[in-house]
Amino acid sequence: MLRLEKRPQPSRAWVVLSPILAVILTMIVGGILFAMLGANPFEAIRTIFWDPIFSEQFSGFTRPQLLVKAGPLILIAIGLSIGFKAGIWNIGAEGQYIMGAICGAAAGLALYPSDSVLLFPLMLVAGALGGWAWAMIPAILKTKLGTNEILVSLMLVYVAETILASAASGFLRNPEGMGFPGSRNFKEWDAVYNGELIAGTGMHWGVVAAFIAVIAAYVLLSRHIQGFNIRLTGEAPRAARFAGVNPSRIVILCLGISGALAGLAGFFEVTGPAGQITIDFNAGYGFTAIIVAFLGRLNPIGILLAGLLMALTYIGGELAQLMLGVPGAAIQLFQGMLLFFLLATDVFTNFRLRLAKKEAV
Amino acid sequence: MKRRTLLATVAAAATFAGAAFAEEDVTAGFIYIGTPGDGGWTYEHDQSRQKMEAHFDGKVKTIFQENVPESADAERAITQMAIAGADIIFTTSFGYMDPTLAVAAKFPNVKFEHATGYKQADNVSVYSARFYEGRAVQGHIAGHMTKTNKIGYIASFPIPEVIRGINSAYIHAKKVNPDVEFSVVWAYTWFDPAKEADAARALIENGADVVLQHTDSTAPQAAAKEAGNVITFGQASDMGDYAPMPRVSSIIDNWAPYYIQRVQDVIDGTWESKNTWDGIDTGMVEIGEISEAVPADVKASALAMVEAIRTGEYSPFTGPLNKQDGSAWLAEGETADLGTLAGMNFYVEGITGDVPN
């Protein structure tokens, strides 16, 4: 009989091993899936994991794109992970991302066509504040009225989407756009365009911000008293209260940080890769970041790697569609599989498999 | 300097890619907003892609990417397609407009075709169909057949193409049934079966017995079938699985002749940037079979209208017509000019509610 036995302490080896094992298992099962769809499994796996980084044909473009795609995911996931550590579940990062983009863009467009060097920082602050303010709604409702932040933050995503639609087709619409929805394109406005800082690297301010956030979160969680309070609140809420940690303050702090970071991500995206406010501007970064946060074990370095891995499967998946004609749904299945195997192998961090004889109860 | 380095990398990549597809003369790429399985908009583009590929019998290779969001992802997807060696790329949704132009600027030797947009460049053409001609026929049938006099309309985004459709359907429904009322629901999506079904159910619960849709899935058809006694029209594709009821007719987008022509132009080296807007006359817009659920006299008058539009005898926007606020738009016998049609952002007189903005 096989049975799971709880480890006295989480296995350090498995913390490192389980993601590697998950990737290998995904490659094997995914390969079988692709073979059944009539594609060469080795070629498909190589296209997804290898080509975006090393292919002679694509990597010149896709390598920088990995950073562009991973940047917002990492930035949002870092913010979320801080809250998740404290047991504060902000599920509405997508909404905060949208509001950050709208507020940042609106601050700039109000002053169009100024070319002041102060404009970009002003918009940045507006973007961060927009995301922060949107996260303060569930925070204040939770601390004052005891509402559930999961529901409130999630519902506010749909409100934000409606505001986005109204911004794109109404108050932020390009006056020269012939009545079509969509704001002015920031790519045509040099003073505020968040382009590549070094050509050919994909490095824009949003990616820089993501790296800073990783370092700051690492310092906060491992060196700073507030980081200790956050972890304590998540792991032992009663102990935290006895230690004099004010739970309301932690809620406001955690939701504030994650909202502001999501708002920043939205701002960098709208002024950079996306270029304009459109009705479909949000592409699910806020939700995917939740996956990235857990894939990275709520650890800043882990999130950095998880964000890059996620971006790799997106871009590699696109190349597989393009070059091998693998259907888009198969790629989504493949990404899902990766998460599934990660969670499955994760069991071995806390449990071990035992071959055991029947024991007397 | 920056741009030059990028161009050099890209150019090197493109040369390499050319070699990869050497056995075919031309590679045509397609960017899809949904999946070919949507049974509507993307399905027809994909059908036309296959017809085009079959037409050239091995000389043209086609590649496509589905479910590409109208966000920063679109620019990446189009760029990758250009690097993969596509000679001509069709981007088949309105929201790909700016991304298409941005990529086109980096790949001057690749031809781009953007569906339903308005921005052209030396290597970017735009193409669309006069769907509003088909909407006139729908409005005619709907006005005759409604018993509750309430017609529901699932609209996608408040862009001129969609507003033209609403106006055209309304004008022709009103013409045959002065009591008709339209309620428009804005779904803010092209393809979201769950949302589309919800919208259809809400309209039906409010008494609508005709549901028109400007979204891509068959979910509204399914919702109408479930409710019974509600009629619908296939959108972008025939959606013939739902005939004879609820689907009583349809607007079919037939892109194949256009795709064949444009790829032929690339092969011949005669491709030029142009703005194409074809309708029933060239067959880009087809009216799907009018089912037996429609009374014979209504079917006959609807077909007569199709014929009149085909020959150019009748234009769906013919005066006298007023704008929603009561101000005069077209005088008796006057027809709408191209510019007003292309940028239409107002309702005609009689429609309640506002164009969202």
A278 touches B: beta carbon within 8 Å: yes
Q: Does residue B246 have a cis bond before it (omega within 30 degrees)?
A: yes
- Residue A146's CB is within 10 A of a number of other CB atoms, namely 7
ipTM > 0.90 for the complex: no
Q: Name the residue among B95, B220, B243 with its Cα closest to residue B157.
A: B95
- Cβ A352 vs Cβ A7: under 8 Å: yes
Closest CB to B13 among A61, A196, A274: A61
Query: Are B115 and B220 part of one and the same domain?
Result: no
Query: Are B135 and B122 part of one and the same domain?
Result: no
* Residue range of the domain that includes B172: 131-252+286-342
Query: Are B182 and B116 part of one and the same domain?
Result: no
Residue B168 corresponds to which tokens in the numbers above?
A: 């055209």
Q: For chain A, what is the mean pLDDT?
A: 90
CB contact under 8 A, A280 and B10: no
Closest CB to B357 among A161, A170, A282: A170
CB contact under 8 A, A179 and B67: no
Closest CB to A178 among B79, B118, B357: B118
- Cβ A318 vs Cβ A232: under 8 Å: no
- Which residue, among A268, A322, A334, A335, would best test binding to B if mutated, counting the most B CBs under 10 Å from its CB? A322
Closest CB to A199 among B5, B76, B118: B5
Give the DSSP letter string of A15-30: HHHHHHHHHHHHHHHH
A175 touches B: beta carbon within 8 Å: no
Mean pLDDT of A165-185: 84
Contacts of B2 in chain A (CB under 8 A): 196, 199-200
Return the pLDDT at A359: 56
Q: For chain B, what is the mean pLDDT?
A: 90
User: Could you give phi then psi for residue A16, rounded to 5 degrees?
Assistant: -80, -40
Residue A18's pLDDT band, with cuts at 50, 70 and 90, is confident
**pLDDT tens profile B169-218:** 999 999 999 999 999 999 888 888 999 999 999 999 999 999 999 998 89
- Look at residue B257 and tell me if it is in a domain: no
Strand order in the sheet with B231-234: B181-186, B150-155, B210-213, B231-234, B247-253, B285-288
- Cβ B276 vs Cβ B253: under 8 Å: no
- Residue A89's CB is within 10 A of a number of other CB atoms, namely 19
Does B224 score more than 90 pLDDT?
A: yes
Boundary-marking domain end, from B129, B157, B182: B129
- Which residue, among A73, A178, A190, A287, would best test binding to B if mutated, counting the most B CBs under 10 Å from its CB? A178
Return the pLDDT at A283: 82
A322 touches B: beta carbon within 8 Å: yes
Does B33 score more than 80 pLDDT?
A: yes
Mean pLDDT of B79-103: 93
C-alpha B119/C-alpha B99 separation (Å) is 11
- Cβ B205 vs Cβ B198: under 8 Å: no
Mean pLDDT of B341-357: 87
Q: Name the residue among B258, B267, B261 with its Cα closest to residue B27.
A: B267
CATH of the domain at B233: 3.40.50.2300
CATH of the domain at A95: 1.10.3470
- Which residue, among A48, A54, A55, A57, would best test binding to B if mutated, counting the most B CBs under 10 Å from its CB? A57
CB contact under 8 A, A60 and B13: yes
Binding-face residues of A in 281-320 toward B, CB within 8 A = 281-284, 315, 318-319
- Which residue, among A61, A187, A197, would best test binding to B if mutated, counting the most B CBs under 10 Å from its CB? A61
C-alpha A28/C-alpha A12 separation (Å) is 25
- The predicted model scores a pTM of 0.83
Q: Which residues contact B247 (CB under 8 A, 6 or more apart)?
A: B221, B231, B232, B233, B234, B239, B240, B291
C-alpha B65/C-alpha B84 separation (Å) is 12
Strand pairing partners for B155?
B186
Does B115 score more than 50 pLDDT?
A: yes
Q: Which residues contact B242 (CB under 8 A, 6 or more apart)?
A: B218, B221, B222, B224, B225, B232, B234
- Cβ B45 vs Cβ A254: under 8 Å: no
A114 touches B: beta carbon within 8 Å: no
- Cβ B168 vs Cβ B132: under 8 Å: yes
Return the pLDDT at B24: 62
A169 touches B: beta carbon within 8 Å: yes
Mean pLDDT of A202-211: 93
Query: Are B222 and B239 part of one and the same domain?
Result: yes
Does A312 score more than 90 pLDDT?
A: yes
Give the DSSP letter string of B285-325: EEEEPPPTTS-HHHHHHHHHHHHHHHHTS--SSBSSEEBTT
Query: Are B203 and B330 part of one and the same domain?
Result: yes
Query: Are B117 and B165 part of one and the same domain?
Result: no
CB contact under 8 A, B6 and A199: yes
- Look at residue B154 and tell me if it is in a domain: yes
Query: Are B189 and B179 part of one and the same domain?
Result: yes
Our separate counts of H helices and E strands in chain B read 11, 14
A173 touches B: beta carbon within 8 Å: yes
- Look at residue A156 and tell me if it is in a domain: yes
**Half-sphere exposure of residue A186: CA atoms within 13 angstroms, side-chain side:** 32
**pLDDT tens profile B125-165:** 999 999 999 999 999 999 999 999 999 999 998 888 999 99
CB contact under 8 A, B73 and A57: no
- Look at residue A345 and tell me if it is in a domain: no
CB contact under 8 A, A321 and B65: yes
CB contact under 8 A, B16 and A166: no
Local structure of B346: helix, strand or coil:
coil
| CA dihedral of A265, A271, A275, A276, whole degrees rounded to 10 | 90
- Look at residue A211 and tell me if it is in a domain: yes
Does A7 score more than 80 pLDDT?
A: yes
- Which residue, among B1, B33, B63, B73, would best test binding to A if mutated, counting the most A CBs under 10 Å from its CB? B73
Q: Name the residue among A262, A229, A263 with its Cα closest to residue A85.
A: A229
CB contact under 8 A, B80 and A165: no
- Look at residue B347 and tell me if it is in a domain: no
Query: Are B44 and B143 part of one and the same domain?
Result: no
Query: Are B218 and B337 part of one and the same domain?
Result: yes
Of A239-248, A249-258, A349-358, highest mean pLDDT? A249-258
Among the residue ranges A92-101, A211-220, A349-358, the one predicted with the least confidence is A349-358
Return the pLDDT at B16: 44
Closest CB to A169 among B72, B83, B158: B158
Output the CA torsion sign for B85, B89, B94, B100. Answer: positive
Does B22 score more than 50 pLDDT?
A: no
Mean pLDDT of B223-237: 93
Return the pLDDT at B325: 92
Q: What percentage of chain B reaches a pLDDT higher than 90? A: 75
Q: Name the residue among B211, B195, B193, B234 with its Cα closest to residue B153.
A: B211
Nearest-Cα distance to chain B for A278, in Å, is: 8
- Look at residue A51 and tell me if it is in a domain: yes
Q: Which helix (H) or strand (E) holds A3?
A: strand A2-6
CB contact under 8 A, B16 and A329: no
Strand pairing partners for B28?
B62, B88
Return the pLDDT at A342: 84
* Rg over CA atoms, chain A: 22
Return the pLDDT at A12: 82
- Look at residue B280 and tell me if it is in a domain: no
- Which residue, among B71, B101, B128, would best test binding to A if mutated, counting the most A CBs under 10 Å from its CB? B71
- Cβ B161 vs Cβ B193: under 8 Å: no
Q: What percentage of chain B reaches a pLDDT higher than 70? A: 93
- Look at residue A169 and tell me if it is in a domain: yes
- Cβ A327 vs Cβ B66: under 8 Å: yes
Does B6 score more than 50 pLDDT?
A: no
- Look at residue B349 and tell me if it is in a domain: no
Return the pLDDT at A187: 87
- DSSP H helical segments within chain A, as ranges? 12-36, 41-49, 51-54, 59-85, 93-109, 119-145, 149-166, 205-223, 225-235, 237-242, 247-271, 285-295, 300-324, 328-350
> Rounded to 5 degrees, what angle do the CA atoms A96, A279, B219 make?
110
Beta strands B111-115 and B150-155, pairing class: unpaired
CB contact under 8 A, A58 and B13: yes
Mean pLDDT of A173-191: 83
Q: From B106, which residue of chain A is nearest by alpha-carbon distance?
A: A61
Boundary-marking domain end, from B96, B129, B162: B129
CB contact under 8 A, B83 and A61: yes
Return the pLDDT at A284: 87
A17 touches B: beta carbon within 8 Å: no
Q: Name the residue among B164, B103, B155, B168 with its Cα closest to residue B128.
A: B164
- Look at residue A337 and tell me if it is in a domain: no
Closest CB to B63 among A278, A283, A322: A322
Residue B115 corresponds to which tokens in the numbers above?
A: 């569906």
A183 touches B: beta carbon within 8 Å: no
CB contact under 8 A, B17 and A57: yes
Closest CB to B80 among A61, A68, A178: A61
Does B15 score more than 70 pLDDT?
A: no
**pLDDT tens profile A35-68:** 998 889 999 999 999 999 998 888 889 999 999 9
CB contact under 8 A, A180 and B67: no
Return the pLDDT at A356: 67
CB contact under 8 A, B2 and A65: no
Boundary-marking domain end, from B71, B94, B129: B129
Q: Name the residue among A176, A179, A133 with its Cα closest to residue A156.
A: A133
Query: Are B31 and B91 part of one and the same domain?
Result: yes
Does B8 score more than 60 pLDDT?
A: no
**pLDDT tens profile A342-355:** 888 888 888 888 87
- Look at residue B297 and tell me if it is in a domain: yes
Q: Does residue B108 have a cis bond before it (omega within 30 degrees)?
A: no
CB contact under 8 A, B70 and A323: no
Q: Name the residue among B270, B272, B237, B276 with its Cα closest to residue B258.
A: B276
- Cβ A358 vs Cβ A7: under 8 Å: no
CB contact under 8 A, A273 and B72: yes
Among the residue ranges A107-116, B134-143, B281-290, the one predicted with the least confidence is A107-116
Query: Are B107 and B222 part of one and the same domain?
Result: no
CB contact under 8 A, B159 and A61: no
The number of folded domains in chain B is 2
C-alpha A136/C-alpha A255 separation (Å) is 7
Q: Name the residue among A16, A56, A3 with its Cα closest to residue A345.
A: A16
- Look at residue A171 and tell me if it is in a domain: yes
Query: How many residues comprise chain A?
Result: 361
Query: Are B150 and B222 part of one and the same domain?
Result: yes
- DSSP H helical segments within B71-227, as ranges? 72-83, 97-106, 131-145, 160-176, 193-205, 219-227
- Look at residue A165 and tell me if it is in a domain: yes
The number of folded domains in chain A is 1
Q: Which helix (H) or strand (E) holds B260?
A: helix B256-268
Contacts of A207 in chain B (CB under 8 A): none
Output the CA torsion sign for A334, A340, A342, A345. Answer: negative
Q: What percentage of chain A reaches a pLDDT higher than 90? A: 57
Return the pLDDT at A336: 87
Return the pLDDT at A23: 86
- Look at residue B259 and tell me if it is in a domain: no
Return the pLDDT at A324: 87
Residue A357's pLDDT band, with cuts at 50, 70 and 90, is low
**pLDDT tens profile B45-54:** 999 999 999 9
- Look at residue B213 and tell me if it is in a domain: yes
